[in-house]
Structure formats: C-alpha cells, structure tokens
A and B are shown apart, each in its own frame.
Chain A
Amino acid sequence: MFIRAIRTPLGAASVSIIVLIVLVTILGPILAPYDPLAQDANHILSAPSSAHWLGTDNVGRDVLSRLLAGSPLSILSAAEAVAIGFALGVIPGLLSVYLGRVFEWLSLRIVDAFITLPFLVFAIAMTALLGNGLQQAMLAVGILISPGFYRVTRAAALTAASSQYVEAARLVGASPWWVLRTHLWGKVAPAVAVATAGAMGAGLVIVSSLTFLGIGVQPPAPTWGGILADDLGYLFQQPFGPLYPTVLIMLTVGAFNGFADALRDAAGIAGHVRILGRTRRPQDAQTTATPEATHV
C-alpha cells in the first residue's frame, strides 16, 4: 500500500516534503547557521542578506536558525499527540468489537463525551491545570484525537468481523487474539494509516495554534507558531516575516494530508475517514457505499 501510494504524483510529492521536514527536524539544530537564541541588538528586523538568509527578528535573532531549531518542537509535539491518540483510540476501537456490550457501550459513551470538547479550550484548560508545558498540551490534544482513531478502527473492525472468513475461523475454534492478529488487523491497518497521516497534519495545526497563543512553550524557545506570533507584531517593519513560518506550516500540513489521501487511494478505502473534522473523500467515483453507511 505504501509503495503504491508513493508511486502516485501526490504521494511522491507529499512523501518528499515529509522526508525533507523529518531531515530538518533531525538535523535542524545542527544545520542552523547561528545560535537560534543569540541576539544582535545592532541588527534587529534586518532584511534577508548573505549573512542572514531570511533576515533577523525583533531582537536580532537569525530567522532561519530559529525556524530550523523550532522544527523538532513543532513536529515532535504533533507526533506525540498523534501517538497518544493512536494508543488511546485504536486499541479500545478494536476491543469494542470483541469485549462485549458493556465495554462497547461504555467506550462509545466516553468517545461521544470527548468529541464534544473543543480542542484548544481543553488544551488550555489542561495547561492551566497541569502547568504550562507542551507535554501537558499534547496529552490533552492526544486525548481528543483518540475518538477519531477509535471510530475509524471500530468501523473497519466491525466490517471485517462480520466477514464470512472471520466467522469461519471462529467456527473452527480460532481464538479472538488469533483472529484479530491474522484477519482483522490487516483490514484495519490501512484505514488507521490514513487516519494517522491525516491526524499528523491536524496535530501540527493544533500545536502551531497553541504555540501561537503562547501556550505550552516558554520563551525564548522557538516554535513555528511562536515565531509567527512574534512576527505578526512587526508587519510594518518586516511584512514578509510571517510568511516563513506560515509557508512551513502550510507545506507540512499539506504534505501530511496529501500523503493521507494517497494512502487512502492506494488502499482502496471507500467512504470517508474523518479525523479532527477533516473529511477524506475517495476519488473512486465507482464506490456504491453511502456516506451514512461508511461515515465513521
């Protein structure tokens, strides 16, 4: 599925950008030409030059170095939230098909409750309660992402669990764990992969939004959202300043979403996969599935 996805133009372009971003995330602090915290009071808000390719900010820090240094915090925080959402959503999603009505009812009600909570407000409340840190904020975001994973996983598992070959396996005495591992996971994994890629994009938007608001990170630590917030205060002096973090955020989110779409097409998943409110539509116009039947 992955190979098929990256052979499409969309998949190839998306994966190229993601690989680039991952490299920047790993090597960014090494590649940064200056200390991202070093200030130069004699060169504040300077235009791009050979010394500072993207110019300097309001306290004379090199913008390129700050963007590079801000990548790990931005990307890894999004990945952390997605990992938490994955763990809290996929496992209960699978188990809800197998552990009987009580667990199914309870887990569905919890998921329903979490879906009603707004992301930013919940994250802000968590940081107020547990302290202003990205770990706390990402825990909150991860918790609220988990219903998306739960519903995607449960829908795929329900469809597969009612298949004849799964029933046949049960009739011949296969254990639930064996059925889960051998038959179900293979059917669930593509949908979960699509959801994960999409959630990464959405997670990055949330991380950027929180750091834009100054939540989760203490200055002067650089983050893409924080750099954007700082630059917006100096639009007159440096109108192009906000463009750099904005383009980075847009490119990265777009790449993850594009990759999710390519994965979905490669997996041949019909219907919609929704994570964090974004609906992915299949490009296969031949599908006969109704949105109501497959909307998860």
Chain B
Amino acid sequence: MSRQKPTVALIALAAAGSLLLGGCAASAHASGSAPVVLKWGFSLPTSWDPVTSSTGNDINTISLVYASLTKLDPKGTAGPALAESWKYNSDGTAVTFTLRPNLKFSDGTPLNAEAVKESLLRGQTQADSLLKDQLSTIKSITLVDDRNVTLNLTAPNYQVPNLLAGKTGAIVSPKAFATAKSTAGIPTNPDGAGPFKFKSFVPESNAVLVKNPNYWDAKDVHIDELDLSVAPDPSTVIAAVQTGSLDVASLPATEIAAAKAAGLKVDIVNSLQVNQVDINSTLAPLTNARVVDALKYAVDRAQLLKVANAGVGSVTYQPFPKGYVAYNPTLDTEFAYDPAKAKSLLAAAGYKPGQLKITITAAAYSQNTAVLVQSQLKQVGVNATIKLIPVGSSTWQQSVYLNRTAQFALDGTVGRESPVQNLGVVYGPTGLMNTSRSSSPEFLAALAQVQKTPLDSPDYAAVLQNAVKIGVLQASSFSLYSTPRIDVRSPKVSALPHFLSQFRWEGVTVTK
C-alpha cells in the first residue's frame, strides 16, 4: 500500500495538469485566439523577388507577399489594388496612379509614390531584372505628391494598368533593396505589402507565411497562417488532403472523380492556361518552314486533351482560351489535325517517311503527352525521341528558355495580366517561350496598335484579335489546348475565388 501512494499522487497531479491545460485550450478556442491555418500544396517560386522570378506561374506565390498596383477581376479587367484609381492623359502617353491613403509595407515603412517609383525603377535597371522588357514602356516616372505618381510612357500604351496587376507591378519595399547585400537577400526573404508576410522559408521545401495586418485589404483575409509547401506526387494529392496534410492543392484532371468520391471539394476555375509546343526554328531540321508546318498539322490536339487531361479543357490554336477578349474565333480551323497534309508537307520538304528525326523535350510530369505526341508524329513519318526534364529543377528554364537547346518543347503558359504581355512572352522577339527569338515587323506593328488602343474602345477586341492572328500564323510555336485550373480542397475550406490569372485568398475561410 505504501508504494501505491506516490503513484496515486502522480496520477492525481497528471489529471490536474490535464484539466488545467485542457481548460487553457478550451478558453483559447472560446476566445477565438487559435490561429486559422491553411496548408497549400503548390510550388515554390523560382525567386521570391518579382524582378528575378523566371516563370509566369510564380505570380501565384509571389502575390502572397507582394501587392501590385492593380488587380485583375475574375474577367481579367484591371481594377484597384494599391492604387485606388488611375487616369491616362489625352494621348495615352502618361498614366497617373493614385495610391490608397496610409499604405504600409509589411516592414512598417510607408508605401507611397516615392516607394512605387523606386520599386519600378529597380525593375527597369537592375542588371539581372527579368522585368526590363515589360517596364521598357515607361520612359520616366514623375512624383506628383505622396499619393500620386505619373508614369510617362515611350508611346501610347493603354495596357499599363493590366501589366501592373502582376509581377511587373508588384511593389517591393525600398528598404529591402537599400544596399546590394539586402537586395541579394530578396529572393529568399521578400519584403512587400501583400496579404501575408514571411515567417520562415526552407528552399525547395516550404514557406510559412502569416497574415500581414498592413495589407490594404487585410479585412478580407481570414487566414492567420498559410503554410505553403511543394505539392506532393499527383497520385497522392487526394490522400494528402484527406489526411489533413494539405487543405488545398492542385489536382490532375484525371483525379477529379476520385477526389469527389473521397468527399473532397473540387473547384474548376477558368484560367488563361494554354498548353503549347515551343519550336526553335533556328535548330535544324526545324529551320525548314514546311517541316514546322507539318508538325503543326501532325499533332492531334483533341486526342491529347482527351487522354492526357481527361477531356477537361478545350482545343485551341492560339495562346488564349475561348471566351477571353483576345480569343480569335477565325483561328479555330488553323492547323487543325490533318496527317495527310503533314505527310505531303514533309515530302515537299524532301523527307521520306522515317527520315526526319527530332527530339521532344518535356517536363517529367508531361510524360504522357510526350508519349502521345511521339506516337502521332510517328504516324506521319517523324521519328521522335523523348527527353524528360526532372520535376522541381531549374533545368527546364536553363535548357528551354535560356540556352534554347530544345527543338520541340512541350510547354505551357499560365497567361499574363495583359494580353499584349502574353503575346510578347509567346511570340515576341525576347519572349521566353518564343525559343526562336524572332518576330516579324508586321506582328510587332500589330502589338503596338493594340497598345495604343484604349481598352474601352469598340475597336479594342478586333485590334487585339488581329495581333493574335498574325502571331499564330507567323510563329513556329503552336498551341494545343487550354485547361481550367483544378483545385481540390478540404470541405473545411470555403470555395476559392475565380480569378483568371492567379490564386487569390481574399474571402477564403477555414472552419475549425
């Protein structure tokens, strides 16, 4: 008996402790102080610095920590963000943005006209800036007062508010680039005025972000902590959301039925994503225009969509989805699948069946599409080998975009905030996805014509669609199919808002 007494005392102590802790926890919940956490499986940006980020997809994560001057609405029209309004001069060569009052960066420093000017100038001048092309439309920047800043343009350009809704208009705190050393730290330690701010970051793994109370729309952010991690293998996404490892993740189209069957919610959101083949026409044998045209006719886009994306999406022959202002319906029959025509073009180019050899470069997650395309090319007498690039590495950017060693790359665009910007990326002379790096004067003139057409002009759609048509008909690269954004979420997370160009978290709630 005497040996049992300490045991009883210990149990009583433990029970009292448990009650005490439980009481504390219960009171924390009752007072609503437990943080609302959302775990998102996606991808980490190539850089947390909008100036050096090298893929369009980065906007989805960069916009967590940076706010842009404008923000696109669900239809793709620029609306207020950091700037509450803007006004063009009479000839479209200058636009004045008026900032919201009392804006602050997450570091507490004021976000005023001076900060906007310095941030945009950095994008224009920093040696390794990848925004130089987009910002080259700005000739100079004039400070009107603390809240008003005027961008003087090199030529009339009514696309600027759209352009500044993405990475190009993401404003970085001048404090972050005050010195060369601090500037070098931005890619891993961002300093913006977005809905969240950094708590921790492990490269190639995850980032923990907490709500930024200084965000201009903080009242609409209902998430206290957002845990961003690299998405798991597509086959395990559903299990990850089911088990609570993740709350939201991107979902392959082939898994939609499985996710619904598992009791999860699936959002199919209209997007600007278009799958494309980047053809480098400076590499033989693709220097022959007939060969390139043959490849365009040889690819059965409907089959690719059906097999590789479970039929979710639409075949498109242009870098925009149906329904978007830039979509040109007259292109619906251009380069439609015609293996007989492909064979005759190859014959005219001097290639007998089996003689033409090319390499298909694809990211590892596009292996299915690569295998299908290889088979389709074989049917018209083209022998293709497949080169797969591992997921998660920067090899894709290096070999396809920068070194331009890929003849035939299975690529895709997530779209851009401005259709002109997207056309520039896909068909422009310096566009990352235009691996041939050449454009005709006719195309460039058509782009300039779009820029100087006000977005509310009745001619705008026709002028824009004309530029798209010239680009599609003249470029070596060609589009395959557009896909919506498909997300799977836990039932405790409310529906994600429908934005064409990026994930947004304003209004999203998480029930406990």
A is bound by B = yes
Contacts from A to B (Cβ < 8 Å):
37-39, 41, 44, 58-60, 214, 218-220, 232-237
Q: Restricting to B366-399, which residues have a CB under 8 Å from any CB of A?
A: 367-368, 370-372, 374-375, 385-388, 390
- A39-B375, A58-B368 known; A236+B307 contact, CB < 8 A: no
User: Please, which residues of chain A bring their CB within 8 A of the CB of B303?
Assistant: 41
Q: For residue A68, give the distance in angstroms from its CB to the closest CB of chain B.
A: 19
> What 0/1 readout, one digit per residue, does chain B (227-242) give for beta carbons within 8 Å of chain A?
0000001110010000
Once bound together, how far apart are the Cα atoms of A237 and B303, in whole Å?
19
User: Please, which residues of chain A bring their CB within 8 A of the CB of B390?
Assistant: 214
Q: Restricting to B30-49, which residues have a CB under 8 Å from any CB of A?
A: none
Residue of A nearest to B375 (CB): A39
User: Please, which residues of chain A bring their CB within 8 A of the CB of B307?
Assistant: 39, 41, 44, 58-60
| B134 in contact (CB, < 8 A) | no
Task: Name A37's contact: one of B233, B261, B375 (CB within 8 Å).
Answer: B375
Whether A236 pairs with B371 at a CB distance below 8 angstroms is no
- A37-B375, A39-B375 known; A214+B254 contact, CB < 8 A: no
Question: Can you spell out 7 A-B residue pairs with CB atoms less than 8 angstroms apart?
Answer: A41-B303, A41-B306, A214-B367, A214-B388, A220-B371, A232-B235, A233-B233
Q: For residue A161, give the distance in angstroms from its CB to the closest CB of chain B.
A: 49
Task: Name B386's contact: one of A60, A220, A234 (CB within 8 Å).
Answer: A220
Once bound together, how far apart are the Cα atoms of A87 and B32, in whole Å?
70
| B506 in contact (CB, < 8 A) | no
| B255 in contact (CB, < 8 A) | yes
Task: Name A237's contact: one of B254, B306, B374, B375 (CB within 8 Å).
Answer: B254
| B178 in contact (CB, < 8 A) | no
Once bound together, how far apart are the Cα atoms of A268 and B255, in whole Å?
55
User: Please, which residues of chain B bring their CB within 8 A of the CB of A235?
Assistant: 235
Whether B235 pairs with A220 at a CB distance below 8 angstroms is no
Task: Name B374's contact: one of A58, A220, A232 (CB within 8 Å).
Answer: A220
Q: For residue A163, give the distance in angstroms from its CB to the closest CB of chain B.
A: 54
Whether A59 pairs with B368 at a CB distance below 8 angstroms is yes
Whether B306 pairs with A218 at a CB distance below 8 angstroms is no
Residue of B nearest to A231 (CB): B235
Once bound together, how far apart are the Cα atoms of A235 and B255, in whole Å?
10
| B364 in contact (CB, < 8 A) | yes
| B258 in contact (CB, < 8 A) | yes
Task: Name A218's contact: one of B233, B235, B387 (CB within 8 Å).
Answer: B387
Task: Name A39's contact: one of B234, B372, B387 (CB within 8 Å).
Answer: B372
Q: For residue B186, give the distance in angstroms from its CB to the closest CB of chain A.
A: 31
Once bound together, how far apart are the Cα atoms of A236 and B255, in whole Å?
8
Once bound together, how far apart are the Cα atoms of A281 and B388, in whole Å?
43
User: Please, which residues of chain A bring their CB within 8 A of the CB of B386?
Assistant: 218-220
Whether A219 pairs with B258 at a CB distance below 8 angstroms is no
Whether A219 pairs with B371 at a CB distance below 8 angstroms is yes
User: Please, which residues of chain B bring their CB within 8 A of the CB of A218?
Assistant: 385-388
Q: How many A-B residue pairs have CB under 8 A?
A: 52
Once bound together, how far apart are the Cα atoms of A251 and B296, in whole Å?
46
Once bound together, how far apart are the Cα atoms of A220 and B306, in whole Å?
19
User: Please, which residues of chain B bring their CB within 8 A of the CB of A220?
Assistant: 371, 374-375, 386
User: Please, which residues of chain B bring their CB within 8 A of the CB of A237?
Assistant: 254, 258
Whether B375 pairs with A234 at a CB distance below 8 angstroms is no
Q: For residue A45, give the distance in angstroms from its CB to the closest CB of chain B.
A: 9
Once bound together, how far apart are the Cα atoms of A219 and B367, in whole Å?
8
Once bound together, how far apart are the Cα atoms of A38 and B306, in whole Å?
17
| B9 in contact (CB, < 8 A) | no
> What 0/1 readout, one digit per residue, does chain B (297-323) give for beta carbons within 8 Å of chain A?
000000100110000000000000000
Q: For residue A212, give the distance in angstroms from its CB to the closest CB of chain B.
A: 12
User: Please, which residues of chain B bring their CB within 8 A of the CB of A232?
Assistant: 235
Q: Restricting to B209-259, which residues have a CB under 8 Å from any CB of A?
A: 233-235, 238, 254-255, 257-258
Once bound together, how far apart are the Cα atoms of A214 and B258, in whole Å?
26
Once bound together, how far apart are the Cα atoms of A220 and B371, in whole Å?
6
Once bound together, how far apart are the Cα atoms of A233 and B364, in whole Å?
13
Whether B255 pairs with A219 at a CB distance below 8 angstroms is no
Once bound together, how far apart are the Cα atoms of A60 and B257, in whole Å?
19
Whether A59 pairs with B257 at a CB distance below 8 angstroms is no
Whether B371 pairs with A59 at a CB distance below 8 angstroms is yes
Whether A59 pairs with B234 at a CB distance below 8 angstroms is no
Once bound together, how far apart are the Cα atoms of A58 and B254, in whole Å?
10
Whether B235 pairs with A59 at a CB distance below 8 angstroms is no
Q: For residue A288, give the distance in angstroms from its CB to the closest CB of chain B.
A: 49
Whether A233 pairs with B370 at a CB distance below 8 angstroms is no
Once bound together, how far apart are the Cα atoms of A254 and B114, in whole Å?
72
Given A37-B375, A220-B371, 7 more A-B residue pairs with CB atoms under 8 Å apart are A39-B307, A41-B306, A41-B307, A219-B370, A220-B374, A233-B234, A237-B258
User: Please, which residues of chain A bring their CB within 8 A of the CB of B257?
Assistant: 236
Q: For residue A85, give the distance in angstroms from its CB to the closest CB of chain B.
A: 28
Whether A233 pairs with B375 at a CB distance below 8 angstroms is no
List the 4 shortest-distance A-B pairs measured between CB atoms, nearest first: A236-B258, A233-B235, A220-B371, A41-B303
Q: For residue A39, give the distance in angstroms from its CB to the closest CB of chain B.
A: 5
Q: For residue B15, give the distance in angstroms from its CB to the closest CB of chain A.
A: 45
Once bound together, how far apart are the Cα atoms of A37 and B233, in whole Å?
25
User: Please, which residues of chain A bring their CB within 8 A of the CB of B367?
Assistant: 214, 219
Residue of A nearest to B308 (CB): A59
Residue of B nearest to A226 (CB): B367
User: Please, which residues of chain B bring their CB within 8 A of the CB of A60?
Assistant: 307
User: Please, which residues of chain A bring their CB within 8 A of the CB of B368?
Assistant: 58-59
User: Please, which residues of chain B bring their CB within 8 A of the CB of A234?
Assistant: 235, 254
User: Please, which residues of chain B bring their CB within 8 A of the CB of A41?
Assistant: 303, 306-307, 372
Once bound together, how far apart are the Cα atoms of A272 and B390, in whole Å?
40
Once bound together, how far apart are the Cα atoms of A58 and B308, in whole Å?
8
Residue of A nearest to B234 (CB): A233
Once bound together, how far apart are the Cα atoms of A218 and B375, in whole Å?
14
User: Please, which residues of chain A bring their CB within 8 A of the CB of B370?
Assistant: 219
Whether B364 pairs with A214 at a CB distance below 8 angstroms is yes
Once bound together, how far apart are the Cα atoms of A233 and B390, in whole Å?
16
Residue of A nearest to B387 (CB): A218
Whether B235 pairs with A219 at a CB distance below 8 angstroms is no
Q: Restricting to B418-471, which residues have a CB under 8 Å from any CB of A?
A: none
Residue of A nearest to B372 (CB): A59
